[in-house]
């Protein structure tokens, strides 16, 4: 084991128990809930031991500065602590831990930044608590209105503003203007690197994607006494829509998933009055994505007529195609001798890419599984990720 691999493991073990569900082995680290708040405190402590000043942007995002926080042309790195329900260990925290270790590597090598290196912990990247992914970076860049973000509510009815303890501050052009580039390191969320036998890759693009909420309304009634012909059962329309989404996605080589559902009243012996299903849809091209969602919507509406149910469809979030800065990606791929890959997963880097030169590094995931407790990365590959990120930060901030 190399010294860096051992240091990675040591730091990783500090956060590994936080928010871990003993049953599933996955993580319940929802934004601004106790486990995530503990990780944010841990982050502040790590910054303190490294003499890095921590600033907040009023939106829930934290920034630890190596170098003068008032200096410009800073190089931003980092990721997020929050997880999906029963998510993996690496999605998010790997980018933050790797950034702290990359700073250590550069310091140990006697390298000093000419421009500040800033490690970010963005809030609510997964959208698992308040429904909109990349909420922190969308607020910072002004891509979501403050009123809408403030009023988003979690399943218990707590608003984002209440969880934050204040109304979010919203866009901060002054802060954004101090960053010359953003580089987010992330665990790979597919098998692309296993197939290429490389520990680290550079991202080329993020597929356009979004979330749509389908509310199916029917008539709640008794399961034992209501004749089949008399029912207006929204579960049927919902079930048909899930199958239609799967079929339409396959036809287009796109991705459609319905993985969250709410049923009212959710009783075994009552025909539901209402079923809500959330569609996550993604495709390589925006026109393909639009066509997919329109087809699902049309088929659901047609089926609702047949079932005597009502349907409302609301788009809850949208992320357009992100083409990362080609010049920067090529430069980093050459520096690291790394392959370049697109991804179907969303990231804060995708939001920031519209505002500053942005790149991503992916660390190999031997299972190819993510958003699941089975997500994995070896310590040796994580150390390779730290080395790669340190080289990138040296290239961008220290010359």
Q: Which residues bind ligand GLV (CB under 6 A)?
A: 126, 133, 345-346
| 91 scored as a contact of Mn ion (CB under 5 A) | yes
* Two structure tokens written together for 86: 């029963």
> Which is closer to ligand GLV, CB of 126 or CB of 375?
126
| 92 scored as a contact of Mn ion (CB under 5 A) | yes
CA distance 332 to 341: 13
> Which is closer to ligand GLV, CB of 280 or CB of 307?
280
CB of 370 to ligand GLV, least distance (A): 8
> Which is closer to Mn ion, CB of 91 or CB of 233?
91
> Which is closer to ligand GLV, CB of 345 or CB of 396?
345
92 interacts with, out of Mn ion, ligand GLV, none, CB within 5 to 8 A per kind: Mn ion
> Which is closer to ligand GLV, CB of 150 or CB of 345?
345
Annotated ligand binding at 217? The verdict is: no
CB of 80 to Mn ion, least distance (A): 6
| Choices 264-272, 283-291, 297-305, 339-347; region in contact with Mn ion by CB under 5 A | 339-347
CB of 280 to ligand GLV, least distance (A): 7
CB of 395 to ligand GLV, least distance (A): 27
- Report CA torsion sign: 82, 3, 10, 191: positive
Annotated ligand binding at 331? The verdict is: no
274 interacts with, out of Mn ion, ligand GLV, none, CB within 5 to 8 A per kind: none
CB of 330 to ligand GLV, least distance (A): 24
| 88 scored as a contact of Mn ion (CB under 5 A) | no
CB of 40 to ligand GLV, least distance (A): 19
Annotated ligand binding at 347? The verdict is: no
* Two structure tokens written together for 316: 């809850």
> Which is closer to ligand GLV, CB of 312 or CB of 367?
367
Q: What is the 3-state secondary structure (H, E, C) of the chain?
A: CCHHHHHHHHHHHHHCCCCECCCCCCECCCCCCHHHHHHHHHHHHHHHHCCCEEEECCCCCEEEEECCCCCCCEEEEEEECCCCCCECCCCCHHHHHHHHHHHHHHHHCCCCCCCCEEEEEECCCCCCCCCCCCHHHHHHHCCCCHHHHHHCECCCCCEHHHHHCCCCCCCCHHHHCCEEEEEEEEECCCCHHHHHCCCEEEEEEECCEEEEEEEEECCCEECCCCCHHHCCCHHHHHHHHHHHHHHHHHHHCCEEEEEEEEEECCCCCEECCEEEEEEEEECCCHHHHHHHHHHHHHHHHHHHHHHCCEEEEEEEEEECCEECCHHHHHHHHHHHCCCEEEECCCCHHHHHCCCCCEEEEEECCCCCCCCCCCCCCCHHHHHHHHHHHHHHHHHHHCC
| Choices 90-98, 229-237, 308-316, 356-364; region in contact with Mn ion by CB under 5 A | 90-98
> Which is closer to ligand GLV, CB of 139 or CB of 304?
139
CB of 223 to Mn ion, least distance (A): 38
Show binding-site residues for allantoate: 211, 269, 282
Show binding-site residues: 80, 91, 126, 186, 211, 269, 282, 371
In the complex, the residues that contact Mn ion under the rule CB under 5 A are: 91-92, 346-347
Show binding-site residues for Zn(2+): 80, 91, 126, 186, 371
């Amino acid at each position: 084991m190399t010294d860096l691999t051992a240091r990675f493991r040591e730091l990783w073990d500090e956060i590994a128990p936080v928010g871990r569900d003993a049953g599933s082995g996955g993580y319940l680290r929802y934004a601004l809930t106790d486990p995530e708040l503990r990780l944010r405190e841990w982050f502040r402590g790590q910054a303190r031991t490294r003499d890095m000043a921590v600033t907040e942007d009023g939106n829930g995002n934290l920034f630890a500065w190596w170098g003068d926080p008032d200096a410009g042309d800073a190089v931003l790195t980092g990721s997020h602590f929050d997880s999906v329900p029963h998510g993996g260990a690496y999605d998010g925290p790997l980018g933050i831990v790797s950034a702290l270790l990359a700073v250590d590597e550069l310091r140990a090598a006697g390298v000093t930044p000419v421009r500040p290196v800033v490690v970010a912990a963005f809030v609510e990247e997964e959208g698992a608590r308040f429904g909109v992914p990349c909420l922190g970076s969308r607020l910072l860049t002004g891509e979501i209105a403050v009123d809408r973000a403030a009023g988003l509510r979690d399943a218990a009815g707590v608003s984002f503003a209440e969880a934050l303890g204040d109304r979010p501050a919203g866009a901060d052009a002054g802060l954004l203007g101090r960053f010359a580039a953003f580089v987010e390191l992330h665990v790979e969320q597919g098998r692309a690197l296993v197939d290429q036998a490389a520990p680290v890759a550079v991202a080329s693009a993020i597929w356009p994607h979004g979330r749509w909420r389908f509310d199916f309304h029917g008539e709640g009634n008794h399961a034992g006494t209501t004749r089949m012909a008399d029912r207006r059962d929204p579960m049927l329309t919902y079930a048909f829509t899930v199958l239609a989404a799967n079929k339409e996605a396959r036809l287009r080589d796109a991705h459609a998933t319905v993985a969250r559902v709410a049923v009212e009243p959710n009783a075994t012996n009552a025909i539901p009055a209402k079923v809500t299903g959330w569609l996550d849809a993604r495709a390589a091209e925006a026109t393909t994505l639009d066509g997919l969602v329109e087809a699902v919507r049309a088929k659901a509406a047609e089926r609702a007529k047949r079932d005597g149910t009502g349907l409302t469809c609301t788009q809850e979030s949208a992320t357009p195609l992100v083409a990362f800065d080609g010049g920067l990606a090529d430069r980093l791929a050459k520096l690291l001798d790394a392959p370049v890959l697109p991804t179907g997963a969303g990231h804060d880097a995708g939001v920031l890419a519209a505002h500053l030169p942005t790149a991503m590094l992916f660390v190999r995931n031997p299972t190819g599984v993510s958003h699941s407790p089975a997500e994995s990365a070896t310590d040796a590959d994580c150390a390779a990720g730290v080395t790669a990120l340190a080289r990138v930060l040296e290239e961008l901030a220290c010359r």
